[in-house]
């Protein structure tokens, strides 16, 4: 299985729509519209043109030549400027194959080499054991549990905060 990251482009727009409409949303932020439309994809592709490589990285996860997911490292502002937030989403068809683990390793390596950051953080819904394992396999340490920090679909969730330091 060939797993690589690729910069988003207009050529990958259909893949972006496929990923965002084919994922399980239980543990995702509400920032991803549902359904995910062509207009949503156009907005995303235009936004990342401005920010990619400057204060963040925005990559398509490509598996055997097909778009399987999206992975980002977004820079923070103000006193948090040396920290960046990792997030990813895979279409359900690609779950359970180690793809997110490889994609996370690749984007973390690129981020620490190219962005002016000292740390990468990620907050994961506590019941999302698979995403927690992806982070742990990539050397992220559990920094704490934020009690009742997320409210989704009428339910409060704890968030597990992970971090990885440069070097």
Residue pLDDT, tens place only, 12-42: 999 999 999 999 999 998 888 999 999 999 9
Residue pLDDT, tens place only, 84-121: 999 999 999 999 999 999 999 999 999 999 999 999 99
The CA angle 92-83-50, to the nearest 5 degrees, is: 70
Whether residue 21 is contained in a domain is answered as yes
Whether residue 145 is contained in a domain is answered as no
| Residue 112's CATH number | 3.40.630.30
pLDDT over threshold 90, residue 129: yes
Whether residue 135 is contained in a domain is answered as no
Q: For residue 103, give its domain range.
A: 3-118
C-alpha–C-alpha distance, residues 145 and 123, integer Å: 9
Whether residue 69 is contained in a domain is answered as yes
Mean pLDDT of the chain: 96
Helix, strand, coil % over all residues of the chain, rounded to 5: 35, 35, 30
Whether residue 146 is contained in a domain is answered as no
pTM of the model: 0.96
Whether residue 99 is contained in a domain is answered as yes
Whether residue 131 is contained in a domain is answered as no
Question: Domains in the chain: how many in total?
Answer: 1
Q: What is the pLDDT of residue 12?
A: 98
Whether residue 12 is contained in a domain is answered as yes
């Amino acid at each position: 299985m060939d797993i690589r990251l690729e910069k988003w482009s207009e050529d990958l727009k259909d893949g972006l729509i496929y990923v965002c409409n084919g994922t399980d949303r239980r543990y995702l932020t509400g920032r991803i519209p549902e359904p995910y439309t062509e207009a949503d994809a156009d907005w995303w592709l235009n936004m990342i043109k401005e920010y990619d490589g400057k204060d963040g990285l925005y990559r398509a996860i490509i598996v055997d030549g097909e778009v399987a997911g999206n992975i980002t490292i977004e820079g923070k502002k103000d006193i948090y400027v040396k920290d960046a937030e990792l997030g990813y989403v895979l279409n359900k068809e690609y779950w359970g194959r180690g793809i997110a683990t490889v994609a996370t390793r690749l984007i973390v390596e690129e981020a620490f080499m190219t962005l002016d950051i000292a740390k990468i953080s990620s907050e994961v819904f506590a019941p999302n054991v698979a995403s927690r394992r992806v982070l742990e396999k990539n050397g992220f340490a559990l920094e704490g549990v934020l009690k009742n920090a997320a409210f989704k679909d009428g339910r409060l969730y704890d968030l597990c905060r992970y971090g990885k330091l440069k070097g």
